[in-house]
Amino acid sequence: MNLSSGLYTDLYQLTMAQSYFLHGKHNTVATFDYFFRKNPFESGYVLFCGLEQVLDWLEKVSFTKDDLAYLKDQGFREDFLEYLGGFSFRGHIKSMEEGQVVFPFAPILSVTASVVECQIIETYLLNILNFQSLIATKASRVRYVAGKQAILSEFGLRRSQGYAGLLASRAAYIGGFDSTSNVLAGKEFEIPISGTMSHAFIQSYDDELTAFMAYAETFPDNCTLLVDTYNTLKSGMPHAIEVAKHLKSKGHQLAAIRLDSGDLAYLSRTCRNMLDAAGFPEVKIAASNQLDEHVIRSLKEQEAAIDIYGVGTNLVVGRSNGALDGVYKLCSFDGVPRIKISENLKKMNLPGSKQVYRYLNPNGLYMGDAIAMETEQTPNEMVHPFEPHKAMAIASEQGKPMLREVMNQGKRSIAKKSTQEIAEMAKQNLQLLPREHKRFDNPHVYKVGISRAVEVLRDDLKNQKK
């Protein structure tokens, strides 16, 4: 499978492209904005993720001879296919940095290129950015509720949607996780890998203690024992303590025990007491089994004695929101601002090429974003995008432009960043977001407004189309 193929798109992108081509409009320059309208998980923000993959793909995307032969069989014209044979992305992209916290309606990324280029890349761009941003956001919520000291490991590959599991592991790490069980993701993205054993390993032996001893002999300096195969408190824990004593006599140390079923709060506290009483306060307790941010919050409220959380299915499938509703909308064609009309202002895009400015409160934390025309000076006022009677003054000198050039004429104009660098950037950016926007219950709505110039242009175009 060639993932750099231009066929990584929806059919209507190519049918529109052929129509543009046949009518001589294929080289017309257009600008599209990527943004979303609603935060997932009833949260107060989204963590932007996936930009590195998008830029890598854009530098490589093309149509092979096999691709063109396939399209010919689908009925596309020879002259259009000859044009696609020389296709590459030669456009320009402005974007917020990967790992930034972003909010509804503000452009996160803007593409300016020939309309055919803009359309062909749309599907891949949405596919990558929507998914990774969704998973990174959920991961950041897990990290927030688990606290700084907890160890978080992503265990979701076996339940993820196919190859998306690789990017889910990357996004989880950027969102604040410490490691992944996904070995290929560990290699590709230089993420620490972690894993223990399954119940099958223990069941393959005639008795639990023999299984534990065999594993401890194999990994004496990194041994975590799964204690709930038979009876956690009457079998698993006594055997784990026996192994811990054996390892200690050989100059090693049991790393952790893991709970994967039952009442995790009660069992973890009881296991902690048993380990401490046996003289092993340093042995950590790991827990897994359908965890997410809400379950972890409940466990912490119950004073569970858990040091390590293994989070899988609920994280990598983005439960309870299976997708981020990011969209990609035309805002300029041949230098003329364009708009989609709707009875609902929230469904209308903001026309023209724009910049987003972020403002800080007196404590240096994020306060609000203003969407302005690209040619404007930094705004000193922003208007509510859907309730025009609401406006607020802002100090223009505090506004920081958020969209910067990341690709010029189809080539990167920023240096590649490692997954670790992006994860650290995400951590710093999340620390600048006030706590009221990160809380789970009724998070405070982050202020996103538009400048007067954007408001006037939108309303003028709307009135012209009536």
- Per DSSP (E only), the strands in 18-81 are 29-35, 46-47
> Quick check: 134 and 119 in contact, CB under 8 A?
no
The residues near 446 (Cβ < 8 Å, ≥ 6 apart) are 44, 45, 103, 366, 368, 369, 437
Sheet of strand 179-180, all strands in order from the earlier edge strand to the far edge: 179-180, 151-154, 308-311, 284-287, 256-259, 224-226
Reported as a single tens digit per residue, the pLDDT across 46-78 is: 999 999 999 999 999 999 999 999 999 999 999
The 3-state DSSP class for residue 447 equals: strand
Reported as a single tens digit per residue, the pLDDT across 359-400 is: 999 999 999 999 999 999 999 999 999 988 899 999 888 899
Helix 419-431 vs helix 164-174: crossing angle, to nearest 10 = 50
The pLDDT value given to residue 326: 97
The 3-state DSSP class for residue 211 equals: helix
Phi, psi angle pair for 360, to nearest 5°: -110, 150
CA-closest candidate to residue 433, choices 37, 142, 44, 148: 44
The pLDDT value given to residue 340: 87
> Quick check: 354 and 372 in contact, CB under 8 A?
yes
The pLDDT value given to residue 466: 63
Quickly tell me which residue has 């380990």 as its tokens: 275
The total number of residues written for the chain in this structure: 466
Reported as a single tens digit per residue, the pLDDT across 196-207 is: 899 999 999 999
Tally of CB atoms within 10 A around 321: 17
Reported as a single tens digit per residue, the pLDDT across 206-255 is: 999 999 999 999 999 999 999 999 999 999 999 999 999 999 999 999 99
- Dist. CA 178–CA 164, nearest whole Å: 19
Does pTM top 0.75 for this prediction? yes
- Dist. CA 360–CA 385, nearest whole Å: 20
Helix 264-277 vs helix 237-249: crossing angle, to nearest 10 = 40
> Quick check: 133 and 50 in contact, CB under 8 A?
yes
Domains of the chain: 11-136+321-464 (3.20.140.10), 196-300 (3.20.20.70)
Reported as a single tens digit per residue, the pLDDT across 420-443 is: 999 999 999 999 999 999 999 999
The pLDDT value given to residue 398: 87
Reported as a single tens digit per residue, the pLDDT across 243-289 is: 999 999 999 999 999 999 999 999 999 999 999 999 999 999 999 99
Reported as a single tens digit per residue, the pLDDT across 147-175 is: 999 999 999 999 999 999 999 999 999 99
pLDDT > 90: percent of the chain = 94
- Mean pLDDT of the residues in the chain: 96
Reported as a single tens digit per residue, the pLDDT across 327-366 is: 999 999 999 999 988 777 778 899 999 999 999 999 999 9
Q: How confident is the model at residue 464 (pLDDT cuts 50, 70, 90)?
A: confident
Residue type for 73, please?
Answer: D
- Dist. CA 309–CA 50, nearest whole Å: 25
The residues near 361 (Cβ < 8 Å, ≥ 6 apart) are 367, 434
> Quick check: 258 and 286 in contact, CB under 8 A?
yes
What is the sign of the dihedral through the CA atoms of 135, 408, 427 and 444?
negative
Facing residues of 30 across strands? 113, 333
Reported as a single tens digit per residue, the pLDDT across 185-194 is: 999 999 999 9
Phi, psi angle pair for 166, to nearest 5°: -65, -50
Count of CA atoms in the C-beta half-sphere (13 A) of 49:
35
Reported as a single tens digit per residue, the pLDDT across 449-463 is: 999 999 999 999 988
